[in-house]
Amino acid sequence: MRREFKLPDVGEGLTEAEIVRWHVKPGDQVKVNQIVVEIETAKSIVELPIPWDGVVAGLMADEGQTIDVGVPIIAIDEPSDGTAPAPENHLEALADDMVPSPPAEGAVEPGAHGSPAPKEERQAVLVGYGVKQGPSKRRPRKSTTPTGPSRAPSAGVAEAPAEGGATPSRGAPSGAGSAARGTAEPGAPRTAAGPAAPVGVSGAAVLAKPPVRKLAKDLGVDLRTLTGTGPQGSITRDDVHAAAEGAPVAAPPAVREREERIPIKGVRKLTAQNMVASAFTAPHVSEFLQIDVTETMEAVKRLKAVQDFAELRVSPLLLVAKAVLVAARRYPMINSSWDEAAQEIVVKHYVNLGIAAATPRGLVVPNIKDAHELSLPELARKLGELTDTARAGRTQPADMAHGTITITNVGVFGVDTGTPILNPGESAILAFGQVRDMPWVVDGQLAVRKVTTLSLSFDHRIVDGELGSLFLRDVGAMLEDPLRMLAWS
Which residues carry out catalysis? Answer: 460
Q: Return d(Cα 291, Cα 453) in angstroms, integer.
A: 6
Q: Return d(Cα 337, Cα 405) in angstroms, integer.
A: 10
* C-alpha distances out from residue 98 to 151, 159, 211, 316, 419, Å: 19, 12, 10, 55, 52
Q: What is the CA radius of gyration of the chain?
A: 29
* 3-state class (DSSP) for residue 54: strand
Give, in degrees to the nearest 5, the angle at Cα 330 between 326 and 336.
Answer: 95
Q: Is the separation of the CB atoms in 371 and 325 below 8 Å?
A: yes
Q: What is the DSSP string of 320-343?
A: HHHHHHHHHHH-GGGSEEEETTTT
Q: Is the separation of the CB atoms in 361 and 40 below 8 Å?
A: yes
Sign of CA dihedral 174, 176, 181, 182: positive
Q: Is the separation of the CB atoms in 193 and 221 below 8 Å?
A: no
Q: Is the separation of the CB atoms in 4 and 59 below 8 Å?
A: no
Q: Return d(Cα 306, Cα 303) in angstroms, integer.
A: 5
Backbone angles phi, psi at 376, to 5 degrees: -60, -45
Alpha carbon 125 to chain centroid, angstroms:
16
What kind and span of H or E run contains 38? strand 35-40
Q: Return d(Cα 431, Cα 410) in angstroms, integer.
A: 6
Enumerate residues 6+ apart whose C-beta is below 8 A from 226.
206, 235, 239, 240, 243
- Tell me whether strands 35-40 and 16-22 are parallel, antiparallel or unpaired: antiparallel
Backbone angles phi, psi at 89, to 5 degrees: -95, 20
Greatest C-alpha distance within the chain: 101
Q: Is the separation of the CB atoms in 400 and 362 below 8 Å?
A: no
Residue type, 424: P
